[in-house]
Amino acid sequence: MRIAVLRPQVPFARGGAEIFTDRLVDELRARDHDADLVSVPFKWYPGARVLTQAFLWRMLDLDEADGRRIDLVVATKFPSYLVRHADKRVWLVHQFRQAYELDGTPLAQFGPSPEDRALRRKVQELDRVALGEAMSLFTTSRNVASRLEASTGFAAEVLPHPPQELDYRCDGYENFVLSVNRLDRAKRIDLLLEAAARDADLDVVIAGDGPDRERLEQLAADRGLNGRVRFTGRVSETELADLYARCLAVYYAPLDEDYGMVPLEAFLAEKPVLTTTDAGGPLEVVSDGATGLVVTADPEDIARALGWLHGHRDEAAAYGRAGKAIAREVTWDRAIGRLLA
C-alpha cells in the first residue's frame, strides 16, 4: 500500500513525536509498503494562528501524489488529523492540549477574552469533526485515550509503540541519575535539580536541549550544584545508549505526559524509573516498588526516593529487570498489524 504518515513539525525541534513518526515510516517500508512522511511547519501562536494551521491541513490534497493514489493516511497529532481522506486512520499522540486540560494553567494558550474563548471552542469543534471522520482511531496511551473520550466522546483503542532503536544494555549502576527530555517547563526537570540540592551524594546528568535550558542551568548554579549536575545538550544515539547503560536510575516526571518513551528506554537498559503521581502516561508502565518508584511532585520526596535507590542497588536492578519484561512486549509487529487491520 501507499501510506502517508502525517506530522506537524515545529522547525528545529525534535522529540518523541518526531522519533515515533520517522520510525513508523521505516517500519512500514520494512514491511514492503510504499510509505512516506508528510510534514507541515507548525506554529500555534499568536492568537488565531492555531486555526490557520488547522486549515492548512484541511486544504491539503492527499488523495493522490504524482499521479498515483495514496491508499491511506496515518495522522498523529493536532492539526494533522484535520486532513481529508477516504481512509484516514488516526494514531493520536495528543490533541491541542491548550484547548483542553491545560486551559487556565501557566501553559495555557487562550486567555479570558471573548475572542480567545471563541478560538478555544472552535478548536474543540474542529476536533469533533475531524476525529469523527477517522476510519480507525488509536491512541499511544490510556492517558491520551481518556482525554480524548472526555473531550469528544470518542473511544479509541490504546496502541503503544516501541521506543527508538538504540544499543540498549546494562553496564552497571553508577552514581548518577539520568534525565532524558526536551528541556521545557512541562518536563519539570527543575524538581530534579531541587532534589539534588537536598542530597549531596546525588549526581545528575541531563541529556537534551530546549527553551528551558538557560533557566535550568541558572537554577543549578544558584543551588551550588556545579560539579554534580552535567548538561550534555543533545547527544548521539551511541552516547545516549551509553548513559542509559551506566546510570543508576532514570528520572522522568513531566506533568500529565501523553505517553513518554523514556521509561521504556530505561527499562530496556534494565534501569528503574522514578516518576510522580501526576505524571500521566508514565504511570501506565512505572509501578511503585515493582519497576521503579512513584512519589509526589515534591523535591523532598524525590530526593528521598533517589537516595533510597542509591542505597539499595540490588532492588534498583530488580526493578529495572522487571521493567525490561514489560518493554519487550511492546513491538512494531503488533502495533502495525493493528494499525493496518
pLDDT tens digits for range 292-324: 999 999 999 999 999 999 999 999 999 999 999
Higher pLDDT pick, 19 / 28: 28
Res 12: pLDDT: 86
CA distances from residue 80 to 35, 72, 83, 318 in whole angstroms, order as listed: 16, 14, 6, 41
Q: Is the pLDDT of residue 14 over 90?
A: no
Q: What is the pLDDT of residues 182-208, one digit of tens each?
A: 999 999 999 999 999 999 999 999 999
The three grid cell numbers given for residue 323, joined into one nine-digit string: 521493567
**What percent of the chain stands above pLDDT 70?**
100
CA distances from residue 329 to 62, 255, 286, 334 in whole angstroms, order as listed: 34, 26, 15, 9
Q: Is the pLDDT of residue 13 over 90?
A: no
Q: What is the pTM of this model?
A: 0.88
Q: Is the pLDDT of residue 231 over 90?
A: yes
Res 45: pLDDT: 87
The three grid cell numbers given for residue 156, joined into one nine-digit string: 479509541
Q: State whether CATH 3.40.50.2000 applies to domain 2-159.
A: yes
Strand order from edge to edge, sheet including 157-158: 34-41, 2-9, 72-77, 88-94, 136-139, 157-158
Planar angle of CA 215, 216, 219, nearest 5 degrees = 90
Nearest to 296 by CA among 253, 260, 262: 253
Q: Is the pLDDT of residue 21 over 90?
A: yes
The residue ranges of every structural domain in the chain are: 2-159, 177-327
Tell me, which fold does domain 177-327 have in CATH? Answer: Rossmann fold (3.40.50)
